[in-house]
Chains A and B, each alone.
Chain A
Amino acid sequence: MSKRQIEGTTPFDADAARKGYALNKMCFSFNSAENRAAFERDEEAYMRQYGLSEAQKAAIRSRQVLQLIEAGGNAYYLAKFAGIFGLDMQDIGAQQTGMSKDAFKAKLQAYAND
């Protein structure tokens, strides 16, 4: 059965949940400040500890949210990864849409006039 396509959107379904488990488990661990510090001390060792696939490791190294979603990442857990770098949702939105942060904020603001 082919999946329903929604433009620019990857619902976190069974396929993503299976593929992304290790990546999401690592990101879930970032609820703890101690774990965030351990990741920052040695990213590679931390990723090995959680058994990330090569694609997931590459996505983490890239800091690119679309690549992390492609590797099975879920937005709620990825937000904890982004938090380590002090990125807010407009930073993340700008990155995913290829816009500057100001342009992304202007796009959000423009919806008020719809």
Chain B
Amino acid sequence: MAQLIGGLASSHIPAIGGAIHKGLQAEPYWAPFFAGYPPVQRWLASARPDVLVIFYNDHGLNFFLDKMPTFAIGAAAEYRNADEGWGIPTMPPFRGEVDLSWHLINTLVAQDFDLVTCQEMLVDHACTLPLKLFWPEGEAPVTIVPININTVQFPLPSAKRCYALGQAVGAAIASWNSDKKVAVLASGGLSHQLDGERAGFINKAFDLQFMDSLVSNPEWATQFSSLDLVEKTGTQGVELLMWLAMRAALSTAGPRVREVHRNYHIPISNTATGLMALEVV
């Protein structure tokens, strides 16, 4: 059976793509952000996952309001990136892990998670940038299964529901008939707000408590409603739902997790950036 070895979480601000493209990683503004990644890159080089299941939120590249799924899963052999409207450079296609996609679909739907299934799916910066941050040289040596969680249109799925989804994904990975090593990735967060008079809102105390909770008390944030999370973390801070789903998946794979590394830096663009790597023990 497949083995779920650990989880990763990373912010995904579009400006990161511009900084990578222009080679600004060592500039004073960017260095505290990019300096977070080498320890995680080294862990990945030694742990060598074959497949990444990616919890992310589409920002209006693949999905529009005409058809807005709460949960959607990719089942494609290849995932392409495309122009998102601001001219950040696009990335080469990623290879899909189709067998695991369908195993997840069959297993999760049987457990009452009514997923939208996508045999074609454009993936935006939320999917592509973390891969570039974790494997800066060349193509990421993994296949992927993207799982999109709606953070565009309220009502969003609750933190509790995202946690349950993550648990079901973790258990399904463990029942996949494969000898591959799988890691789960959460893309998004942490606190930030792009829109409204409160634009620029950041909540450092909440972010740090949330990161701590993922190590030892992973269900802590499931007590909050979506609007609680907006109030505490900003309109886009709700992307921490991805982190919860990731951590929930790990909870099924072992009794606890070891924190490999974390980084937290304010600000990049309008965002408090977070990075975590957790290993199942």
- Chain B's interface size range is 35 or more
Interface size, chain A (Cβ < 8 Å): 47
- Return chain A residues, CB-CB under 8 Å to B139: none
Whether the Cβ atoms of A75 and B195 lie closer than 8 Å is yes
CA–CA, A64 and B230, complex, Å: 23
- Looking at the assembled complex, report how far the CB atom of A32 sits from the nearest CB atom of chain B, in whole angstroms: 7
Residues of B within 8 A of A (CB): 15, 59-61, 64-66, 82-87, 152-155, 193-202, 204-205, 227, 230-231, 235-236, 265-267, 269-270, 272
**Residue from B196, B201, B205, B272 whose CB has the most chain A CB atoms within 10 Å:** B196
Q: For chain B, what secondary structure do more than half of its interface residues adopt (helix, strand, loop), or is it mixed? A: loop
Q: Is the CB of A83 within 8 A of B196?
A: no
Task: Render A89-108 as a binary contact track against B, CB cut-off 8 A, 1 for contact.
Answer: 11011001100000010011
> DSSP majority for the A interface?
helix
Task: For B226, give the chain A residue with the smallest CB separation.
Answer: A11
In the complex the two chains form, what is the Cα distance from A79 to B13 in whole Å? 13
Task: Determine whether the beta carbon of A104 is less than 8 Å from that of B200.
Answer: yes
Q: Are A78 and B204 closer than 8 Å at their CB atoms?
A: no
Chain A residue, CB-CB nearest to B62: A31
Q: How far does the Cβ of A83 sit from chain B's closest Cβ, in whole Å? A: 4
Out of B59, B82, B152, B235, name the residue touching A9 (CB < 8 Å). B235
Please give, as numbers and ranges, the residues of chain A lying within 8 Å of B198 by CB-CB distance: 6-9
Chain A residues near B86 (CB-CB < 8 A): 79-80, 83
Chain A residues within an 8 Å CB radius of B227: 4, 6, 11
Contact among A4, A30, A75, A111 with B267 in the assembled complex (CB-CB below 8 Å): A111
Contact yes or no, B197 A97, CB < 8 A: yes
B-side contacts of A89, CB under 8 Å: 15, 194, 269-270
Partner of B194, one of A32, A92, A104, A112: A92
Chain B positions within 8 Å of A14 at CB level: 154
Q: Which residues 14-36 of A have a CB within 8 angstroms of B?
A: 14, 17, 21, 24-25, 27-28, 30-33, 36
Q: Tell me whether B231 and A6 are in contact (CB under 8 A).
A: yes
Contact indicator A88/B204 (Cβ below 8 Å)? no
Residue contact B60 to A11, C-beta cutoff 8 Å:
no
Contact in complex: B195, A96 (CB < 8 Å): yes
Contact of A32 with B195 at beta-carbon distance under 8 Å, contacts A6-B230, A6-B231, A24-B65 already known? no
A42 at the interface (CB under 8 A from B): no
* A67 CB → nearest B CB, Å: 12
B270: chain A residues within 8 A (beta carbon): 89-90, 93, 108
Partner of B83, one of A11, A13, A33, A77: A33
Contact A77:B154 (CB < 8 A) given known A10-B196, A104-B200, A109-B267: no
Q: Is A108 touching B200 in the complex (CB atoms < 8 A)?
A: yes
